Structure 1
Amino acid sequence: MNSLAQIYDREFRVRGLREQGWGRGLMAAAALIWLWVGYLLVFPFSIDRGERFKPIECESRAFHQDSDHAVSYLTDEGERCDAERDWGPILAALLLSLPLASLGTGLYASGTAAVRTAKYAAEITRLNATKEV
């Protein structure tokens, strides 16, 4: 293989590895958002009202029902707990994570395909260069 072909092959591999890295990073960012949203939904929390008052203890949004009756979180926990863990920011975080996850998956798949293609082409070139027995 001549030097220009080697330079192009090396740049092609580096570009594929860079795409894989960006894909991993974007998927990791989406996973962190999903973990944060899961934390907000699953774990109980408290609302601090200052030094003079006791904090308000709130159950998680996911596991707030203790009875058989289907009651809303607002009814079970009260207005302050409902306002503290409002659905709007939680859904906004989930919507933000979707493009990150899909773009990350696409970049990772594209980079992996590029690296594998470069390895395949190098192996074919090596096999063609060997003398047939």
Structure 2
Amino acid sequence: MNVTPMNSLAQVYDREFRVRGLRQQGWGRGLMAVAVLIWLWLGYLLLFPFSVDQGAHLKSTECESRAFHQNGKFALSYRADTGERCDAERDWGPMTAGLLLSLPFAVLGTGLYVSGASMGRTAAYAADVARLNATKEI
């Protein structure tokens, strides 16, 4: 078998192409991690009970989680079940804003990760095709 090595310019280009793909994958992972951290925080806000401080001289109010509240046989609403103070502390507005804030991170991170992975697979494919073209059958 006679294998012709790649010239140095092609090797440099191939290495830079692969490094760019790995860098894109890293950025994609990082952006997806930001989105996951936001989702975990929102899950914590929704699923775990909390307490609301009433002031310096008053006792704090214990509140149930938004997801698992029920004051009797039928749950009416979070405000009716837990009270206005608890409802105001865990308002839907900031939680919805957090969810909307996480979406660009998730979408952009996924796109960068997939693009970087595709670059790596393309480089491997091109190297395999070049290797197969360089070999001669005996």
Q: Same fold (TM over 0.5)?
A: yes
> Displacement, 1:48?
2.0
Alpha-carbon distance in structure 2 between the residues aligned to 1:66 and 1:120: 62
SS in 1 for 2:62: strand
Segment of structure 1 superposing worse, 53-62 or 123-132: 123-132
5 Å-filtered alignment, 1:1-133, equals 1-133=6-138
Give the RMSD, CA atoms, in angstroms.
Answer: 1.2
- TM-score (norm: length of structure 2): 0.91
Give 4+ residue runs of structure 1 displaced > 6 Å after superposition: none
Asked if the contact 2:69/2:75 (under 8 Å) is kept, the reply is no
Q: Which amino acid aligns with 2:27?
A: W
The share of aligned pairs that are identical, in percent, is 73
Q: How many residues align?
A: 133
Further displaced range: 48-57 or 119-128? 48-57
Give the unaligned 5+ runs of structure 1: none
How many angstroms apart in 1 are the aligned matches of 2:70 and 2:112?
Answer: 42
In the aligned structure 2, how far is the partner of 1:24 from the partner of 1:42? 26
Alignment partners' CA distance in 1, 2:26 and 2:117: 10
Q: Hey, what's the Cα distance between the residues in 2 that align with 1:79 and 1:70?
A: 15
The alpha carbon displacement at 1:50 in A equals: 3.8
Per-residue deviation, 1:125: 1.2
CA offsets per residue over residues 61-85 of structure 1, 9 Å max, x none? 0000143324111111111100100
Cα deviation, residue 55, structure 1: 1.1
- Determine if contact 2:32/2:105 at 8 Å carries over to the other structure: yes
